[in-house]
Chain A
Amino acid sequence: MDVFSDPLNRDVYLTGFLWILKLTLAGGVGAVALGVLLAAMRVSPVPVLRGFGTAWVNTFRNTPLTLIIFFCYFGLFSTLGLSLADDIDVNNFWLGVIGLSVYTAAFVCEAIRSGINTVPAGQAEAARAIGMTFWQTLTIIILPQAGRAVIAPLGSILIALCKNSTIVGTIGLMESSNAMKELINANGNAVIPIFLVFAGTFAIVLIPTGYAFGWLANRLAVKR
């Protein structure tokens, strides 16, 4: 563990995981907001909205995230000149957030849609019978019940998002995987401890998070 007693190396480690944390938070907010909107579109009465939602999901769910992030940088930024910040790191961070949100939203949308499918049809029928509109049925009756059914899948998606945020390293952000690569290249004699610290950090945070989501899902599940 000598490697991490050097404050410079510790800095590399901390900066790396700080980026991961920021990417996960910003990407998570973006993905959930966009995903709920897409799910609402996919069950709406307007065919164009449904088509748009379906096209989005089929496009982004089937494209590798690496390619999406690559496209955000070389396409949106380099070629089309979409600059989000003056600082190159902050700019790449936001490009990464766009890529992560756009990709993860497709999975959030599908999770919420299958959550909607777990709500018994009688609920929506009763809502319609008392004269609720589509929007009212969705927001007052269906989504609150569906939300409780999708906690476990949403948890899995957020965990995957956290792991996926390492891919933003492709466009030069010094997140954890690039940080690990740098430390490995500088300290060839301590490869295993370096890997164990980086991988262990993910494992220590993410494994309990997974079980916590499982516990929460059980607790909040609608008993039928």
Chain B
Amino acid sequence: MSSDAVLYDYPGPRAKVRNLALTIVFGVGLLALLWWIYSRFDQKGQWAGALWKPFTYGSTWTDYILPGLQHTLEAAAVAMVLSLVFGVLFAVGRLSDHWWIRWPAGAVVEFFRAVPLLLLMFFIFFGLPFITEKPMSVFWAVVIGLTLYNGSVLAEAFRSGVYSVPRGQSEAAYAVGMRKGQVMTHILIPQAARAMLPVIVSQLVVLVKDTALGYIISYNELLQLGVNNLSANYGNVLQAAIVAAAIYIVVNSLLTAFAGWLSRRTRRKGRAPRAAAATVQQATIEPGLGGGGGAL
């Protein structure tokens, strides 16, 4: 169905009245809920100016929120680059003709997709120092965790991207005498990457959100600095959380809009492989097939 408006007729006089009535009933309910939240805030003194005022101080932004956001974006950026590399390597590994490459690569990808990221980060941050007998940098604990998880998700995305390239492409490449490696790097990966671009960018949103896990192992990201430390000074945990949430929503909405723009652009030009449009849609709802999937 192309438009949701197919589900109901153009409203006639009675439907208009009914819709208006529903609007009013729901609107009143919503206002009542908002009023309840407002009065609850009021009752606990959460509207007090002192709790909101810190957000007008320059130091709140320069000492807490902006450095926090910077650390969040740093970890996300480094992890994104590394997980793209990881993803390509393991996607190619899983597509290999040799079982002794294909099986281990598949096992690694399936394993890291099925293990909760927090568990992985705890192991890297608290567990590995016992083995290496050196303290683990919290930045790298976050980045390595994010890389292993998101890299595995991206490996599956690339793999289904490669499958979406019409078979004629690789057959033609073999016909002109290219070797396996050349077919992969010159023909399949560039087309798969373009087809999977929206999925890759959506995964970036997941990555940005997952940096917040760094808070649990006390990495100085937005949640740690902007909410935890800030509210330790001003006692405004609720307000700080709301502001931090707004920042996350803005950053991620921009990324989502970018992903949407990219997907429209590749579709319009008709450059993406023919079968890819369907696969992209599929992959957007469901990143990867089977296994311990689920990349929220």
Contact A119 B1 (CB under 8 A): yes
Q: What is the bound-complex CA distance between A207 and B292, given in angstroms? A: 4
Q: Tell me the count of chain A residues lying within 8 A, CB to CB, of chain B.
A: 86
Which B residue sits closest to A168, measured CB to CB? B118
Interface string of B113-135 (1 = CB under 8 A from A): 01111111011001110110000
Which B residue sits closest to A43, measured CB to CB? B4
Interface string of B52-76 (1 = CB under 8 A from A): 0000000000000000000000000
Contact A181 B122 (CB under 8 A): yes
Which B residue sits closest to A20, measured CB to CB? B116
B35 part of interface (Cβ distance < 8 Å): no
A67 part of interface (Cβ distance < 8 Å): yes
Which residues of the other chain, A, contact B23 by a CB distance below 8 angstroms? 46-48
Residue in contact with A79 in the complex, picked from B212, B237, B291, B293, CB distance below 8 Å: B237
Residues of B232-260 whose CB lies within 8 A of A: 237-238, 241, 244-245, 248-249, 252-253, 256
Residue in contact with A207 in the complex, picked from B41, B110, B227, CB distance below 8 Å: B110
Q: What is the minimal beta-carbon distance from A128 to any residue of chain B, in angstroms?
A: 6
Contact B122 A177 (CB under 8 A): yes
Contact B294 A158 (CB under 8 A): yes
Which residues of the other chain, A, contact B6 by a CB distance below 8 angstroms? 121, 124-125
Contact A62 B123 (CB under 8 A): no
Majority-rule SS of B interface residues: helix
A80 part of interface (Cβ distance < 8 Å): yes
Contact A170 B115 (CB under 8 A): no
Contact A202 B7 (CB under 8 A): no
Known contacts A43-B4, A81-B44, A211-B291; A156/B22 CB under 8 A: no
Majority-rule SS of A interface residues: helix
A7 part of interface (Cβ distance < 8 Å): no
Which residues of the other chain, B, contact A194 by a CB distance below 8 angstroms? 127
Contact B205 A80 (CB under 8 A): no
A4 part of interface (Cβ distance < 8 Å): no
Known contacts A153-B285, A191-B127, A195-B123; A159/B253 CB under 8 A: no
Which residues of the other chain, B, contact A188 by a CB distance below 8 angstroms? 130
Residues of B120-172 whose CB lies within 8 A of A: 120, 122-123, 126-128, 130-131
Contact A63 B119 (CB under 8 A): no
Q: Please tell me which stretch of B8-16, B93-101, B181-189 contacts chain A, meaning at least 4 of its Cβ atoms lie within 8 angstroms of it.
A: B8-16
B30 part of interface (Cβ distance < 8 Å): yes
Which residues of the other chain, B, contact A152 by a CB distance below 8 angstroms? 285-286, 289
Which residues of the other chain, B, contact A181 by a CB distance below 8 angstroms? 122, 126
Q: What is the minimal beta-carbon distance from A28 to any residue of chain B, in angstroms?
A: 12
Residue in contact with A189 in the complex, picked from B117, B130, B215, CB distance below 8 Å: B130
Interface string of A157-196 (1 = CB under 8 A from B): 1111101101101100000110011001100110110110
Contact B41 A124 (CB under 8 A): no
Known contacts A67-B212, A170-B216; A46/B22 CB under 8 A: yes
Known contacts A65-B209, A163-B116; A70/B223 CB under 8 A: yes
Contact B209 A64 (CB under 8 A): yes
B40 part of interface (Cβ distance < 8 Å): yes
Residue in contact with A71 in the complex, picked from B19, B41, B122, B245, CB distance below 8 Å: B245
15 contacts between A and B (CB under 8 A): A52-B26, A62-B253, A75-B238, A117-B1, A121-B2, A150-B285, A152-B289, A153-B285, A156-B294, A163-B294, A195-B119, A199-B123, A202-B292, A210-B291, A214-B289
- A residues near B (Cβ < 8 Å) are 42-49, 52, 58-59, 61-67, 70-71, 74-75, 78-81, 103-104, 107, 110-111, 113-114, 116-121, 124-125, 128, 133-134, 137-138, 142, 150, 152-153, 155-161, 163-164, 166-167, 169-170, 176-177, 180-181, 184-185, 188-189, 191-192, 194-195, 198-199, 202-203, 206-207, 209-211, 213-214
Q: A66-B223, A158-B294, A184-B127 are in contact. List 5 more A-B contacts (CB 8 A).
A: A67-B227, A79-B46, A116-B1, A176-B119, A184-B123
